Amino acid sequence: MDVQLLTYIFVGASFALYIGIAIWSRAASTKDFYVAGGGVSPIANGAATAADWMSAASFISMAGIIAYAGYDASVYLMGWTGGYVLLAMLLAPYLRKFGKFTVPDFIGDRYYSNVARTVAVVCVIFVSFTYVAGQMRGVGIVFARFLEVDVNLGVIIGMAIVFFYAVLGGMKGITYTQVAQYCVLIFAFLVPAVFLSILMTGHVLPQTGFGATVLDAAGNDTGVYLLERLDQIVQDLGFGAYTDGSKSTIDVFFITAALMCGTAGLPHVIVRFFTVPTVRDARISAGWALFFIALLYTTAPAVGAFARTNLIETVNNAEYEQLPEWFYNWENSGLIGWLDKNGDGRVQMAAGDPFQGKPNFAGDRNQTAGDFGQRVVTNAPTDNKSEVYIDRDIIVLANPEIGNLPAWVIALVAAGGVAAALSTAAGLLLVISSAVSHDLLKKTLKPDITEKQELMAARLAAIVAICIAGYFGINPPGFVAQVVAFAFGLAAASFFPVILMGIFYRRMNKEGAIAGMAVGLIFTFSYIVYFKFVSPELNSAEHWLFGVSPEGIGTVGMILNFLVAFLVSRVTAAPPEEIQHIVEDIRVPRGAGQAHAH
Amino acid sequence: MREENARAYWAANVKLILSYLVVWFVVSYGCGILLADVLNNIQFFGFKLGFWFAQQGSIYVFLALIIMYARSMNKLDRKFDVHEE
C-alpha cells in the first residue's frame, strides 16, 4: 500500500477513536465539564497531562531544534520537565485540596478580590490563545504535508474534531481522548527513534544509543562515540561543538528558570490536577505525568544527535544527482533549498545561512530546473560556503524516510503529529471556556445563573474559542513564534508566585498579591514587547538587562513579583481570619473528598 | 492540639520540600548549567558528564524526586494522622 493511503487510514482511524470516546464520555454537569467529575485515576491523568503538555512543537519541532542547537537546547529539556517537580511539591496537592474548578477561582477566593480574579482571567485567556494559535497551524501543516490537502482545509478539519469532543465532553471528553492521543503520539515518536538507534549504534534504547559508539555501513563497531564523532564533524564544517553551548551561562540559567516556573504556572497544566480524586493522587499523578513526558523528552535529544549526524554524513559533499529520494521530496515541498554557489554539482554544508531567509523558488522542478535538476532558489546568496537550507521541522517528519523505514511508520508519524496538536489545543480551549463561563460570568458578572445555564455558556464559550483559534490557524499572525516567550514569561511572572505565596505564606494579602502580579506582568510584558516588537534591532546581549534575553526575563519578573508582594503585604493589613483558615485547611490533605463538591 | 499537630505536619512537609529542592537545583542548575563546563571534562560512557546532566540525567532525577516526595508524604500523612479516608 502506498504511504498516502496508509496515512489516510491511520489518521482516519485515530479520529474515529477520538469521536467514539467523545460520545461515550459526554458531560452532564459543570463539574464533569470543568474537572471531569473529579474522578480520573492518577495514571490516566498523568497520560492526559502529558498529551496536554506536549504540543505540536514538542512532537514536530523540538528534536529538530536540538539537532541544530546541541547543548543550547538543554534549556527546553530541563525547563519543560523540571517544572513538574515544582508542580508536584509546591502547587498541585494544595490546589487539589482547595477543590475548585479553575486557576482564577483560587486566586479570586484566596485573595478575596474580584480584581485579582479578573487580572487572572485576562492572563489565562491571553496565555492560552497565544499557545493555541500555533497548535491549529500545526494540525494544518501535518495535513498539508502528509495528506496533500490544503493547509486551511486541514485547520478546519482539526477544528471540527476538537469541536466535537471538547464541546460535547468538556474536560471529561478531553481527558479520555488525551489518554488515547498520548498513546498514539508516543508510539509514533518512539518507533522511528528506536529504528534509528539500532541502525546507527545497535542499541535498542535511544537513551543509551545516544552515548554509544557508532556502527559503520556494514554494521561493524567503529569504536568512536556518537557524540565525539558529531562534535568532530560539526566543527569541521565550522560550527561550534555540538556538546558546548554558545549562550551565556547567565542567560541559560534564567531561561531555564522561566520555563520551569512558567510550566508550573500554566493554567491548562494546573487544572489537570483538579480532576483526580484525592490529594495523594495529585502528588503521584505529577510523577506519572513526568514519566510519560520523559519518555519523549529523553528520546528527543538522542533523535536530534542521530539525525544531525545522519544528515551531514548523507548530504554534505554528495553529488546532487546521487542524493536519496527524500531530499527531492522535501525540496518539492519547499523545506529544503539548494543553491550551488561554487557550481560543482555537490551539496556543501557549512556554518551560516546559505542565503537570506527561507527559500523562494522560481517555480517547480518541471518548469525551471537548475543545471543538475534542482529547484532554482532566487534568494540573494550570502558570502559563506554554506549551500543548503534545511528546515528544522524536517528532522522528525523525515526521520522515517531518512532511515529507510517502512511506509506505515511514516503514516504513524503523521497521526502522531495530529494527536499532539489536537490534544494541546483541546486542553487550552477548555481553560479559555471555563475562564469565561465560570470565572467571568458565574463568579463576577452574573452569580445567579443556574448550573444548566453555566454549562450552556461554557459550551458556547468553547465554540467561540475554537472559531477564534481556527481563524488564527488560517491567518497566522507573523509573530506567533516570537510570542511563545510571552506564554512562559507571563505565567512565571504572574501565576506561579501568586499561587505559591497563597499557599506557603499565610500573611499574604490581596494588596500584596495584586501589586506583585501587576509589577511582574507589566515588567515582563514591556521587556518582551520592547525587544521583540519595538526595537528588534537592539535584541542582543549587550542591550539586555543583566544579559538576560526576552525568553528568560520572566524569571526577573517573577523575582520582582515576590519582592513587591512581600513588601506591600508587610505594610498593609493581614488577610481576614477566614482566609487564613482556608490556607491552613489546604495544607492538610484530609477532607479533600468533600471539598470538591462545589 | 489539632492545630499544633497541623503546624508540626506543615513544618515537616516544608523541610522535606526544601531538601528535595536542593537536589533539584543541584542537578539541573548546578550540574547541567553552572558546573557543566567543569563536568564536561569527565567522560561518562559516550557523554561528557555536564552535557549528559543537561540532556538526560536531570530529567531522570526530577522523576525520582517526585516519586520519592509522593512516597515520603504518604508516610508523613499517616504519621500525623492527616491522611485521607
**DSSP state at residue A435:** I
Residue A444 clears pLDDT 90, i.e. is over it: no
The pLDDT of residue A366 is 80
Can you tell me the mean pLDDT for A322-326? 89
Q: How many CB atoms lie within 10 A of CB A467?
A: 11
In terms of C-beta distances under 8 Å and separation of at least 24 residues, what long-range contacts does B13-18 make, across chains too?
Answer: B13/A587, B13/B73, B13/B76, B14/A504, B16/B69, B16/B72, B16/B73, B16/B76, B17/A89, B17/A90, B17/B69
pLDDT at position A477, please? Answer: 64
Confidence check: pLDDT of A592 > 70: no
Share of chain A above pLDDT 90, in %: 45
Contact A93 B63 (CB under 8 A): no
For the stretch A507-522, pLDDT in tens is: 999 999 999 999 999 9
pLDDT, one tens digit per residue, over A383-406 is 888 999 988 878 888 888 877 788
**Which range is most confident: A137-141, A161-165, A433-437?**
A433-437
Contacts 24+ apart (CB under 8 A), A581-587: A582/A98, A582/A109, A582/A110, A583/A110, A583/A502, A583/A503, A583/A506, A584/A506, A584/B3, A584/B6, A585/A97, A586/A94, A586/A95, A586/A97, A586/A98, A586/A503, A587/A94, A587/A97, A587/A503, A587/B6, A587/B9, A587/B10, A587/B13
Cβ neighbours of A249 in B, within 8 Å: 33-34
Q: Does residue A53 register a pLDDT over 60?
A: yes
The size of chain B, in residues, is 85
Backbone angles phi, psi at A361, to 5 degrees: -105, 150
What was the pLDDT predicted at A594?
A: 47
SS (H, E, C) A224-241: EEHHHHHHHHHHHCCCCC
Ranges A142-151, A166-175, A285-294, A450-459, most confident: A285-294
Residues of B in contact with A590 (CB under 8 A): 82-84
What is the average pLDDT score of chain A? 88
Between A116 and A1, residue with greater pLDDT: A116
CA gap A379, A438 in Å, rounded: 51
Which of B9, B58, B65, B66 is the best mutation test for A, with the most CBs of A within 10 A? Answer: B66
In the predicted structure, residue A69 carries a pLDDT above the cut 70: yes
Give me the interface pTM, i.e. the ipTM: 0.97
Q: Chain A: nearest CA to B74, how far in angstroms?
A: 7
Indicate the pTM of the whole model: 0.93
Nearest neighbour of B56 by CB, restricted to A283, A290, A298: A298
Confidence band, pLDDT 50/70/90 cuts, at residue A479? low
What does the alpha-carbon distance between residue B33 and residue B24 come to, in Å, rounded to a whole number? 13
The pLDDT score that the predictor gives to residue B54 is: 95
Q: How many CB atoms lie within 10 A of CB A2?
A: 8
Which residue segments constitute the domains of chain A, with CATH numbers given? 3-233+246-302+407-478 (1.20.1730.10), 311-402 (no CATH)
Instruction: Please identify which residue in the block is written with the cell numbers 535529544.
Output: A301
Closest CA to A286 of B2, B71, B51: B71
Query: Is B63–A290 a contact, with Cβ atoms under 8 angstroms apart?
Result: yes
Asked if the model's pLDDT at residue A139 lies above 80, the reply is no
Residue-level pLDDT at B1 = 59
Q: Pick B77's closest partner by Cβ from A213, A294, A589.
A: A589
Query: Between A and B, how many CB-CB pairs are < 8 A?
Result: 140
Residue predicted with more confidence, A38 or B82: B82
Band (pLDDT 50/70/90 cuts) for residue A481 is low
How many angstroms separate the CA atoms of A542 and A73, rounded?
22
CA distance A338 to A344: 12
When CB atoms are compared, the residue of A66, A85, A280 closest to B65 is A85
Q: For residue A133, give the nearest of A186, A77, A57 by alpha carbon.
A: A57
CB-based burial, A487-502: b 16+ in 10 Å, e otherwise: bbbbbbbbbbbbbbbb
Q: Which residues of B touch A91 (CB under 8 A)?
A: none
Residue with cell 536531570: B58
What DSSP character marks residue A217? T
- CB contacts of B6 in chain A (<8 Å) are 584, 587-588
Tens digit of each residue's pLDDT (9 = 90 or more) over A336-363: 999 999 889 999 999 888 998 888 888 8
* pLDDT tens, position by position, B4-62: 899 999 999 999 999 999 999 999 999 999 999 999 999 998 999 999 999 999 999 99
End-to-end CA distance of chain B: 20
- Name chain B contacts of A583, Cβ cutoff 8 Å: none
B13 touches chain A (CB under 8 A): yes
What pLDDT, in 10s, does the model give residues A521-569? Answer: 999 989 988 887 888 888 887 888 888 888 899 999 999 999 999 999 9
Nearest CB to B70 within list A244, A287, A298: A287
Q: Which one-letter amino acid corresponds to residue A34? A: Y
Measure the CA–CA gap between B50 and A244, rounded to whole angstroms. 10
Tell me, rounded to whole angstroms, the distance of Cα A77 from its chain centroid: 11
Q: CA A455: distance to chain centroid? A: 29
Using the CB atoms, write b or e for A156-171: b if 16+ within 10 Å: bbbbebbbbbbbbbbb
Query: Are residues A244 and B40, on separate chains, in Cβ contact within 8 Å?
Result: yes
Q: What angle do CA A375, A379, A384 make, to 5 degrees?
A: 100
- Measured over the CA atoms of residue A375, residue A381, residue A385 and residue A390, the dihedral's sign is negative
What confidence score (pLDDT) does residue A485 get? 64
Q: What is the dihedral of CA A36, A38, A44, A50, to 10 degrees?
A: 70
pLDDT at A170 over 80: yes
Candidates B16, B17, B33: best to mutate against A (most CBs of A within 10 A) is: B33
Q: Do B36 and A245 touch (CB under 8 A)?
A: yes
User: Distance from CA of residue A206 to its chain's centroid?
Assistant: 22
Any chain A CB within 8 A of the CB of B12? no
